[in-house]
Amino acid sequence: MFRSLLVLVTLPLVAVGIGRAQEDEPTLLDVKLSDWIKRLDEGVTPKERRKAAIAIEQIGHAKSRRVVPALVKALRDDKDEFVRLAAARAVGRAVAKANEQAREERKEELPKFETARETLVTALRFDKADAVREAAALALGDIGPDARLAASAL
Return the CATH architecture of domain 26-153: Alpha Horseshoe (1.25)
With H, G, I as helix, E, B as strand and everything else as coil, classify residue 128: coil
On whether the CB atoms of residues 81 and 131 are closer than 8 A, the answer is: yes
Q: CA–CA distance from 62 to each of 27, 54, 86 (Å)?
A: 13, 16, 20
Report domain extents, the chain: 26-153
Give 38-70 pLDDT, tens digit per residue: 999 999 999 999 999 999 999 998 899 999 999
pLDDT at 4: 55
Q: Could you give the CA distance from residue 108 to residue 95 in angstroms, rounded to a whole number?
A: 17
Does 28 score more than 50 pLDDT? yes
Secondary structure letter of residue 106 according to DSSP: T
3-class SS of residue 24: coil
Tell me the whole-structure pTM to 2 decimals.
0.80
Task: Evaluate if residue 19 carries a pLDDT over 60.
Answer: no
Per-residue model confidence as pLDDT tens digits over 78-128: 999 999 999 999 999 999 999 888 888 888 776 788 999 999 999 999 999
CA distance readout (Å), 20 to 13, 14, 30, 37, 144: 11, 10, 16, 20, 37
Average pLDDT of the segment spanning 128-150: 87
